[in-house]
């Protein structure tokens, strides 16, 4: 940094004191509430996270309340936010706090890092905001602000960018109000130092920002090359029986773990969706059916694009075994379950009235 950390810190805090958004977790230094807020806000716009935060606090005002809740309740409140692994780990960490730490929340960065799902960013954010520990919390917003500010020290070296950003952030939290400094950097990245349209004219750091000085804001932060997102095909069985839908719970440790969906099967290479659907019916113990296709839905995950071919199937007998992971549910029960986003879209697209019983061909 060209300006001293003391000068930059002063400018940041003056700006933050006058421009900070009125987010609900800004009214507290309670470590539990800050932990929940930071977990919700990851990969999520602050206004959207605020809605979920208020809902979460209404249901789970203390860590003991969260620990005592069943996972389905937690996932249902999380529904629509994505990245469900965060919800599962938040719940598991709350249980660890109550069972292994007698309900005592961690007070240091190092202690927070021992909890499931708590990485460097969350641990630093909570430790600095709740306890004043001088440790830098670096998220995407902070990385963008400091990579641009220190652009000439980084050059075109992504590895050096990480080192420079970490050192700059740590220098800034080394003085007064480390938690507010972390929040100020995050806020500056969200409101002013935006990815595509930075508002340099209103930035408190513009006078010493190297990317602004040399017209390099579009170049920083350095990013790895984009990977091509593959497409994967799936067949989904929308099975109904006597006004109920057949749903299954996804494995807890996989993608979208713990959420419910209509039975869904990946298409093997060279296999038509109708063939996959027929195989799926057999695996569920359902009788053969006409396999007439229904709607086709798409969804983009971080690492692949999903194309879901839906096959409605109204049956006369419940051929599928029912256990804790497989259920026949009414439309009202379906609405109450934590569903995957595609399952929720599918339920909404077909309405809640199950189709009539199908007739097998021939």
Write out residues in the chain with pLDDT < 50, as ranges: 1, 353-362
Asked if 102 and 129 touch (Cβ cutoff 8 Å), the reply is: no
Classify residue 20: in a domain, yes or no. yes
**Three-state DSSP class for residue 326:** strand
325 included as an active-site residue = no
**Could you tell me if 276 and 198 lie in one domain?**
no
At which of 219, 248, 275 does a domain end? 219
Classify residue 34: in a domain, yes or no. yes
**Could you tell me if 52 and 127 lie in one domain?**
yes
Classify residue 357: in a domain, yes or no. no
Q: What's residue 322's pLDDT?
A: 61
Classify residue 156: in a domain, yes or no. yes
**Could you tell me if 208 and 236 lie in one domain?**
no
Classify residue 225: in a domain, yes or no. no
What is the DSSP track for 49-67?
HHHHHHHHHHH-SSHHHHH
Residue 95, token pair as written in the block = 């249980």
Classify residue 359: in a domain, yes or no. no
Active-site choice (14, 38, 96, 269)? 38
User: What is the CATH classification number for the domain harbouring 52?
Assistant: 1.10.340.30
Q: What's residue 252's pLDDT?
A: 75
**Three-state DSSP class for residue 184:** helix
At which of 161, 196, 219 does a domain end? 219
Give pTM, 2 decimals.
0.79
At which of 194, 219, 244 does a domain end? 219
**Could you tell me if 243 and 197 lie in one domain?**
no
**Three-state DSSP class for residue 297:** strand
**Could you tell me if 144 and 248 lie in one domain?**
no
CA 247, chain centre distance (Å) = 23
Q: What's residue 354's pLDDT?
A: 44
* Residue keyed to tokens 């969350």: 122
Classify residue 121: in a domain, yes or no. yes
- Residue 343 domain boundaries: 231-350
H or E stretch covering 308 = strand 305-314
Q: What's residue 319's pLDDT?
A: 67
Asked if 313 and 244 touch (Cβ cutoff 8 Å), the reply is: no
Nearest-CA neighbor of 145 among 159, 161, 130, 134? Answer: 161
**Could you tell me if 213 and 244 lie in one domain?**
no
Q: What's residue 297's pLDDT?
A: 86
Q: What's residue 359's pLDDT?
A: 38
**Could you tell me if 190 and 236 lie in one domain?**
no
* Residue keyed to tokens 């999520």: 44
User: What is the CATH classification number for the domain harbouring 294?
Assistant: 3.90.79.10
**Could you tell me if 132 and 257 lie in one domain?**
no
Q: State the Cα torsion 154-160-165-166 to the nearest 10°.
A: -160
**Could you tell me if 207 and 134 lie in one domain?**
yes
**Three-state DSSP class for residue 127:** helix
Long-range contact set of residues 348-357: C-beta below 8 Å, sequence gap at least 24: 349/295, 349/297, 350/238, 350/294, 350/295, 350/312, 354/240, 354/241, 354/243, 354/244, 354/245, 354/314, 355/240, 355/312, 355/314, 356/314, 357/314, 357/315, 357/316
Structural domains counted in the chain: 2
Asked if 193 and 203 touch (Cβ cutoff 8 Å), the reply is: yes
């Amino acid at each position: 940094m060209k300006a001293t950390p003391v000068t930059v810190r002063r400018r940041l805090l003056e700006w933050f004191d006058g421009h900070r958004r009125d987010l609900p977790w800004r009214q507290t230094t309670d470590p539990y509430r800050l932990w929940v807020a930071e977990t919700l806000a990851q990969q999520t716009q602050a206004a959207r996270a605020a809605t979920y935060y208020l809902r979460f606090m209404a249901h789970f005002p203390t860590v003991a309340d969260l620990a005592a809740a069943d996972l389905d309740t937690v996932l249902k409140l999380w529904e629509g936010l994505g990245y469900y692994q965060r919800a599962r780990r938040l719940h598991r960490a709350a249980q660890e706090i109550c069972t292994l730490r007698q309900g005592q929340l961690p007070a240091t960065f190092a202690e927070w890092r021992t909890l499931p799902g708590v990485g460097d960013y969350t641990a630093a954010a909570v430790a600095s905001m709740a306890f004043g520990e001088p440790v830098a919390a670096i998220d995407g917003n902070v990385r963008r602000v400091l990579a641009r500010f220190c652009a000439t020290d980084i050059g075109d070296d992504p590895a050096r960018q990480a080192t420079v950003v970490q050192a700059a952030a740590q220098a800034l939290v080394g003085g007064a109000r480390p938690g507010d400094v972390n929040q100020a950097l995050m806020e500056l990245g969200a409101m002013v130092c935006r990815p595509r349209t930075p508002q340099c004219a209103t930035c408190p750091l513009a006078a010493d920002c190297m990317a602004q000085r040399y017209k390099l804001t579009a170049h920083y932060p350095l990013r790895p090359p984009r990977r091509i997102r593959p497409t994967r095909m799936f067949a989904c069985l929308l099975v109904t029986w006597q006004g109920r839908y057949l749903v299954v719970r996804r494995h807890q440790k996989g993608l979208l773990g713990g959420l419910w969906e209509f039975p869904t099967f990946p298409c093997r290479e060279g296999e038509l969706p109708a063939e996959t659907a027929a195989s799926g019916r057999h695996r569920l113990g359902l009788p053969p059916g006409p396999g007439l296709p229904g709607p086709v839905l798409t969804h983009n995950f971080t690492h692949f694009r999903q194309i879901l071919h839906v096959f409605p199937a109204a049956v006369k007998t419940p051929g599928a075994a029912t256990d804790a992971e497989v259920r026949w549910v009414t439309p009202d029960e379906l609405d109450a379950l934590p569903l995957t986003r595609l399952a929720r879209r599918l339920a909404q697209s077909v309405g809640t009235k199950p189709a009539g019983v199908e007739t097998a061909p021939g």
